[in-house]
């Protein structure tokens, strides 16, 4: 029983992180039709900036304030997004999508080394946060409280993003632009602004994901490249451009990964990619995507 509870919580923890990354990727694709290969690096920026900020504040602040500093990671990634979209992506919207993909691949290489340049080759971490919370008992299983915190953040992000996209005026403009960019533009929506806002929002989510995972797994070079592929698996299963899809995909990948690590550790990653390939084969647009 405790093992089962622990495994379920592990899956949810993992799914939260994946959702934070994949929802941004999906949102950007949904609105702008760009698959951002540098998205994983924005997640890594979130982790690095949060670790750096917490390291600077260090011993002087109370632990609860350090939690507030996690937000710096999300804000830094959002800022990076707000710079990247107008500078590097806007000139390419009229070109073939190959160029957009290549541009984001180039940005991936650049961001990877910018992080190495700024923070060095060694991992950064702030385990004080995860240690400070200790662990709690959930249905008889002892589980780290910090992981529960991450699950709660993931759940709140899912609800918040859903409410934002489906319940606000900005969300309406976002969805209108994603359905028909020209029509939206003709109706007086400032498409340029919607694009930069959507891209920034996507990066904010990724940065938040990186920031909250950092106290557990640290900020490491290469974390973005690894995360991106899993995020791809999530959005392919769920459907590129769909938020519900990102949520369901994240849960599927989270659970499969936990089961995989327990029972078939050797081929766990291969199974995930195969699931993605099978879903794409059967339903090209993913479970929740529109073709």
Partner 1 sequence: MTELALASPRVWSGRRVVIGALAVGALAAIPAVASPFQTITICYGLVFAIAALGFNLLLGYTGLLSFGHSAYFGTGAYVVALLVKYLGVASMELFVVAGILGSVVVAGLFGVVCVRYTRIFFGILTLALSQVLWSLALKLFWVTGGSDGLRVPTPTLLGGLGGPGADKVEFIAHRYYYYVLILFLVATAAMWVIVSSPFGKALQAIRDNETRAEFVGVQVWKYRWIAFVISGAFTGLAGALWVPLNGLTTPDILYWPFSGRIVFFTVLGGFRTFVGPIVGAIAYNYLETYAVGFTVYWQLVLGIVLVLLVLTMPTGLVGTAIQIFERVRRARRP
In Å, the largest CA–CA distance within the chain is 58
The DSSP bridge partners found for residue 59 are: none
Task: Give, as ranges, the residues between 229 and 258 that touch partner 1 (CB under 8 A).
Answer: 229, 232-233, 236, 240
Q: Answer yes or no whether residue 21 interacts with partner 1 by CB under 8 A.
A: no
- Decide whether 37 or 150 has the Cβ nearer to partner 1: 37
Q: Answer yes or no whether residue 290 interacts with partner 1 by CB under 8 A.
A: no
Q: Answer yes or no whether residue 107 interacts with partner 1 by CB under 8 A.
A: yes
Q: Answer yes or no whether residue 170 interacts with partner 1 by CB under 8 A.
A: no
Q: Answer yes or no whether residue 22 interacts with partner 1 by CB under 8 A.
A: no
| Cβ-Cβ contacts under 8 Å for 135 (sequence gap 6 or more) | 142, 143, 144, 145
Phi, psi (5° rounding) for residue 135? -135, 160
20-28, 113-121, 129-137, 149-157 -> range binding partner 1 (CB under 8 A): 113-121
The nearest distance, CB 85 to partner 1, in angstroms, is 14
- Interface mask toward partner 1 for 25-44; x: CB under 8 A: --------x-x-x-------
In this structure, the dihedral spanned by the alpha carbons of residues 279, 282, 286 and 290, taken in order and rounded to 10 degrees, is 180
First CA to last CA distance, the chain: 42
Answer for which of 86, 106, 134, 160 binds partner 1 (CB under 8 A) is 106
- Decide whether 17 or 240 has the Cβ nearer to partner 1: 240
CB contact at 8 A, 7 and 258:
yes
The DSSP bridge partners found for residue 138 are: 141
- Decide whether 215 or 239 has the Cβ nearer to partner 1: 239
Which H or E run contains 141?
strand 141-144
CA distances from residue 53 to 65, 113, 126, 133, 253 in whole angstroms, order as listed: 11, 20, 10, 19, 31
- Interface mask toward partner 1 for 59-88; x: CB under 8 A: -----------------------------x
In this structure, the dihedral spanned by the alpha carbons of residues 223, 212, 47 and 83, taken in order and rounded to 10 degrees, is 110
Total chain residues near partner 1 (CB under 8 A)? 44
DSSP letter at 90? G
Helix (H, G, I), strand (E, B) or coil at 142: strand
Q: Answer yes or no whether residue 101 interacts with partner 1 by CB under 8 A.
A: yes
Answer for which of 62, 94, 117, 188 binds partner 1 (CB under 8 A) is 117
Answer for which of 128, 216, 280, 287 binds partner 1 (CB under 8 A) is 280
- Decide whether 59 or 117 has the Cβ nearer to partner 1: 117
CA distances from residue 121 to 74, 102, 115 in whole angstroms, order as listed: 22, 26, 9
Q: Answer yes or no whether residue 97 interacts with partner 1 by CB under 8 A.
A: yes
Q: How far apart are CA 3 and CA 71, in angstroms?
A: 32
The nearest distance, CB 23 to partner 1, in angstroms, is 17
Q: Answer yes or no whether residue 266 interacts with partner 1 by CB under 8 A.
A: yes
Q: By CB under 8 A, name the binding residues for partner 1.
A: 33, 35, 37, 88, 91-92, 95, 97-99, 101-103, 105-114, 116-117, 225, 229, 232-233, 236, 240, 265-270, 273-274, 276-277, 280-281, 284
């Amino acid at each position: 029983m405790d093992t089962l509870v622990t495994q379920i919580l592990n899956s949810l923890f993992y799914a939260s992180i994946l959702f934070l990354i994949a929802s941004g990727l999906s949102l950007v694709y949904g609105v702008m039709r760009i698959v951002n290969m540098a998205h994983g690096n924005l997640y890594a920026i979130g982790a690095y900036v949060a670790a750096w900020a917490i390291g600077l504040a260090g011993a002087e602040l109370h632990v609860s304030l350090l939690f507030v500093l996690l937000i710096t990671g999300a804000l830094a990634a959002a800022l990076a997004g707000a710079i990247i979209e107008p500078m590097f992506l806007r000139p390419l919207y009229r070109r073939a999508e190959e160029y957009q993909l290549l541009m984001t691949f180039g940005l991936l290489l650049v961001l990877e080394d910018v992080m190495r340049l700024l923070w060095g080759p060694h991992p950064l971490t702030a385990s004080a946060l995860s240690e400070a919370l200790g662990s709690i008992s959930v249905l008889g299983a002892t589980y780290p409280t910090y992981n529960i915190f991450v699950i709660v953040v993931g759940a709140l992000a899912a609800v918040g993003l859903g409410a934002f996209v489906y319940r606000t005026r900005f969300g309406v403009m976002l969805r209108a632009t994603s359905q028909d960019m020209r029509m939206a533009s003709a109706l007086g929506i400032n498409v340029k602004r919607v694009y930069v806002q959507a891209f920034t929002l996507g990066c904010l989510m990724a940065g938040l994901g990186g920031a909250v995972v950092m106290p557990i797994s640290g900020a490491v070079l290469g974390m973005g490249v690894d995360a991106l592929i899993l995020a791809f698996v999530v959005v392919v299963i769920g459907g590129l451009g769909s938020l519900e899809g990102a949520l369901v995909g994240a849960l599927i990948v989270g659970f499969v990964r936990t089961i995989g690590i327990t029972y078939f550790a050797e081929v766990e990653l291969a199974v995930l990619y195969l699931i993605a390939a099978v879903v794409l084969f059967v339903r090209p647009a993913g479970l929740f995507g529109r073709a």
